[in-house]
């Protein structure tokens, strides 16, 4: 169990991760509204090479929100386990989808709504069963973690497999298989999260007055982080340029989060002291989030019509409609007057009186 300080740090990291998702999700909406305003004014669009968005305050507000969100995400890794922070990044997709349906009039179909609900449920389950990582409070202890044989083997496997994907599989299958470039981004991304964790510890020591700038490990982590981010951005852009976003985004989220969870489990021993129910809960929550993101992205442009139902449900729907119609007819028969002849007689008498009045 976590102590009082560890529990407080966990909740701080959780709050920062949730705030990061909210800011990042909202930043996409602000940027999109800024670009739409420019389009209505007839300015050159960004997709056509224009840079008029640099003069739009809404776009800059979105960029500021993105920066705040990334900073909060960076800080969340310092307080909470990476196995918790990384999957919660899926909530930014949920926030963006909900806000776009509200402020951009973009339709959120049934699949998207179910995906949002699943993402929220999965995130809640992961928070409840979040793992406890071994406390790393200084660069010295971080250096000991990085020297662990298990992590060294993992890092070597990541680097070798990434090089094989880039120089062997990339030229042959990169244009036809979405997994090639996405696997590169995911594998390298797991190392970048470890670098972020180490730099966060270095910043904490720096603010506490320790001479961190003289430590070589902090600079090594910074250089490694810049290299990893550059590789990630490069190959993610290649994947997005070749394949549809609805295909790349869920696959990248699943592979990236899986790689980060593996790296954190090896480096920070997050799963070492977990009981079986917490392990099952964490995996179940992650798979639930994956299902929600898959529904939200893959079927977002597919309208939900009764024709998409299975045949037995369509037959049941037709039978139900027929029963409703028969019930309506039966109800209308029950509400007919009990003395129709008298009504008819009164109606004929009234008609005769009207005819006599007209003749007069």
Q: What pLDDT sits at residue 188?
A: 92
Q: Where are the alpha helices (DSSP H) in 208-275?
A: 216-242, 245-267
**Predicted pLDDT at 144:** 87
- Quick one: pLDDT at residue 153? 94
Give the pLDDT of residue 38: 73
Nearest Cα to Cα of residue 184 among 251, 244, 245: 251
Handedness of CA 230, 236, 237, 238 (dihedral sign): positive
Is the dihedral angle over the CA atoms 24, 9, 145, 154 positive or is it negative? negative
Instruction: Please identify which residue in the block is written with the tokens 């981004």.
Output: 185
Query: How far, in Å, CA of 276 to CA of 305, rounded?
Result: 42
- Report, as ranges of residue numbers, the positions in the chain whose pLDDT lies below 70: 1-6, 42-54, 106, 131-135, 240, 244-246, 249, 270, 297-360
Range of the domain at 248: 81-299
Q: What is the pLDDT of residue 342?
A: 45
The pTM for the full model equals: 0.68
Q: Is residue 93 part of a domain?
A: yes
CA angle (276, 280, 285) in 5-degree steps:
150
Does residue 188 sit within a domain?
A: yes
d(CA 247, CA 267): 30
Asked if residue 131 belongs to a domain, the reply is yes
DSSP secondary-structure letter at 307?
G
Which pLDDT score, from 0 to 100, does residue 226 have?
Answer: 92
Q: Tokens in use for 302?
A: 């597919």
Residue 96 lies inside a defined structural domain of this protein: yes
CA angle 84, 89, 91 (to 5 degrees): 110
Total number of domains in the chain: 1
139 domain residue, yes or no:
yes
Is 278 a member of any domain? yes
Residue 4 pLDDT: 45
Which ranges constitute the DSSP H helices of 56-178?
57-79, 82-88, 90-103, 110-128, 139-146, 149-164, 170-173
Number of other residues whose CB lies within 10 A of the CB of residue 342 = 10
Gap between the Cα atoms of 122 and 224, Å rounded: 32
Asked if the structure places residue 38 within a domain, the reply is no
Residue appearing with tokens 């009039």: 105
Phi, psi of 108 (to 5 degrees): -110, 100
pLDDT at residue 158 in the model: 93
Token pair, residue 334, equals: 């029950």
pLDDT of residue 155: 92
d(CA 33, CA 333): 57
User: What is the pLDDT at residue 322?
Assistant: 61
The packing angle between helices 216-242 and 139-146, to 10°, is 60
Q: Is residue 260 part of a domain?
A: yes
Question: Six-digit token pair at 88?
Answer: 């919660």
């Amino acid at each position: 169990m976590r102590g009082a300080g560890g529990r407080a740090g966990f909740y701080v990291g959780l709050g920062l991760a949730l705030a990061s998702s909210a800011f990042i999700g909202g930043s996409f909406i602000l940027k999109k509204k800024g670009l739409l305003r420019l389009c209505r004014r007839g300015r050159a669009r960004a997709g056509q090479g224009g840079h008029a968005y640099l003069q739009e305050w809404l776009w800059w507000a979105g960029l500021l929100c993105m920066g705040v969100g990334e900073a909060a995400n960076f800080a969340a890794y310092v307080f909470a386990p990476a196995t918790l922070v990384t999957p919660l990044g899926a909530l930014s997709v949920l926030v963006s989808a909900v806000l776009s349906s509200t402020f951009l009039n973009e339709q959120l179909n049934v699949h998207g709504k179910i995906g949002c609900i699943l993402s929220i449920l999965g995130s809640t389950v992961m928070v409840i069963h979040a793992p406890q990582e071994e406390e790393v409070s200084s660069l010295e202890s971080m250096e000991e973690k990085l020297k662990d044989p298990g992590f060294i083997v993992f890092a070597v496997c990541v680097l070798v497999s990434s090089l094989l994907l880039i120089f062997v599989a990339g030229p042959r299958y990169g244009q036809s298989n979405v997994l090639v470039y996405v696997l590169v981004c995911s594998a390298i991304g797991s190392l970048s999260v470890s670098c972020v964790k180490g730099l966060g510890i270095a910043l904490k020591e720096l603010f506490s007055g320790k001479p961190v700038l003289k430590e070589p490990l902090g600079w090594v982590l910074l250089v490694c982080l810049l290299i990893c981010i550059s590789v990630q951005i490069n190959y993610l852009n290649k994947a997005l340029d070749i394949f549809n976003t609805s295909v790349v985004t869920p696959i990248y989220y699943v592979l990236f989060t899986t790689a980060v969870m593996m790296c954190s489990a090896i480096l920070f021993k997050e799963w070492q002291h977990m009981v079986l129910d917490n392990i099952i809960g964490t995996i179940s929550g992650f798979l639930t989030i994956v299902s929600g993101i898959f529904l939200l992205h893959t079927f977002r442009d597919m309208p939900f019509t009764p024709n998409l139902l299975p045949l037995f449900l369509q037959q049941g729907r037709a039978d139900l409609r027929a029963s409703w119609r028969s019930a309506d007819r039966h109800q209308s028969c029950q509400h007919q007057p009990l003395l129709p002849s008298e009504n008819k007689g009164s109606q004929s008498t009234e008609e005769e009186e009207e005819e006599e009045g007209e003749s007069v």
